[in-house]
Amino acid sequence: MTDLRAGLIGLGMMGRHHARNLHALDGVDFVAAADGLGDPHGVAGNLPVLSGIDELIDFGIDYCVVAVPTHLHYEIGMKLASAGVHALIEKPLAGTYAEALELAEVFQSANLIGAVGHIERYNASLQELRLRLRAGDLGEIYQISTSRQGPFPSRIADVGVIKDLASHDIDLTMWVARSGYKSVSGQTLHKSGREHEDMVAATGLLQNDVTVNHLVNWLTPAKERRTTVVGERGMFVADTLTSDLTFYANASVNTEWEEMSHFRGVAEGNITRFAFPKPEPLRVEHEYLRDAINGDTETEIVTLHQGAEVLRVCEALLESSKTGSTIALS
């Protein structure tokens, strides 16, 4: 099989990591990059660095990784679809839900593979968590909580913390729980003097009646990336900074007084930290995209329609924060 010809547009902070993986990916020939500001991190190597997406398409590519600011995603995505080029578009998929949905429909109509860079799905701790939840290790799921907090990223200017960071938690929650959102409510703060929000406390209910909450901000001096799932048999905690997964079991306590057994609640039981391979999530994301373009229907990429649904929930949270109401999602 001939290697896929890959291009990359955007050589900034995220683009440099994509470039590193494209250079090393089996079955892929990284042929050219594009960025109007050149190659500030020197990651293109000996490859030509073109000025924009039109030149990159004309160079001849099978697929393109889009790592430019969010407000450019729609325009570049539409040009790639029109040229018959598959794409991996960094999250959020577009600036608005309407733009994201149109991109998804256009790629689908053109029979093109389109994926969104919700990289947390490829973190080994969440992959392992999803497998164990599917196997029934936790029993019935009651609640999913996420905490995604850290320092202010000066590179992000065109969206707020909901679309940039909380979008990760929204996607991984729907993926882990295998359910969409039924309703959401959010409270936001603007503390950095910018147009967009930099803190959000969100709550919600999934369609399968699992409760969720997300704490996300850009104003915490230390990074935190935790997903906690509580269910009838205990609690899973996934730390995606370290790719660790820990299970806190409910203790089994026998009681001779049957009437009291219904009121004893739960107690702390055994704690297990699991061992499993921990490949780089971005490398896994690229491998899955490559395989999907090559026709592997079993490969689970983040589809453009899924990326659009994430933005629908994000916009519902923004609406909730403005109106002070809970927003229902059909």
Collapse the DSSP code of 236 into the 3-class scheme (helix H, G, I; strand E, B; otherwise coil) and give the result: strand
Q: What is the mean pLDDT of residues 167-190?
A: 97
Pairwise CA distance, residues 301 & 286, whole Å = 10
pLDDT of residue 81: 98
Cross-strand partners of 33: 8, 49
Is 157 a residue whose pLDDT tops 90?
Answer: no
Pairwise CA distance, residues 171 & 146, whole Å = 11
Pairwise CA distance, residues 130 & 227, whole Å = 12
3-state helix, strand, coil in the chain (%, to 5): 35, 30, 35
Q: Are 141 and 231 in contact (CB under 8 A)?
A: yes
46: CB partners within 8 A, 6+ apart: none
Pairwise CA distance, residues 282 & 65, whole Å = 12
Q: What is the mean pLDDT of residues 259-273?
A: 69
Domain 4-120+283-303 class, CATH top level: alpha beta
pLDDT of residue 257: 53
pLDDT of residue 192: 82
Q: Which two tokens stand for residue 297?
A: 């229907």
- 124-279+311-328 CATH: 3.30.360.10
Tell me the torsion sign for CA atoms 115, 117, 122, 125. negative
Asked which of 162-171, 180-189, 206-215, 249-258 is least confident by mean pLDDT, the reply is: 249-258
Ordered by start, the domain boundaries in the chain are 4-120+283-303, 124-279+311-328
Q: Which two tokens stand for residue 166?
A: 């909380």
Residue bearing the bigger pLDDT, 273 or 266? 273
Pairwise CA distance, residues 125 & 227, whole Å = 10
pLDDT of residue 152: 80
81: CB partners within 8 A, 6+ apart: 87, 103, 106, 107, 110, 112, 114
Q: Which two tokens stand for residue 303?
A: 């589809």
Q: What is the per-residue pLDDT across 62-77, written as a single tens digit (0 to 9) for each?
A: 999 999 999 999 999 9
pLDDT of residue 232: 95
Is 181 a residue whose pLDDT tops 90?
Answer: yes
Does pTM surpass 0.85? Answer: yes
pLDDT of residue 186: 97
Phi first, then psi, for residue 288 (nearest 5°) are -65, -40
Is 265 a residue whose pLDDT tops 90?
Answer: no
Distance of alpha carbon 228 from the chain centroid: 16
Is 154 a residue whose pLDDT tops 90?
Answer: no
Is 222 a residue whose pLDDT tops 70?
Answer: yes
Collapse the DSSP code of 60 into the 3-class scheme (helix H, G, I; strand E, B; otherwise coil) and give the result: coil
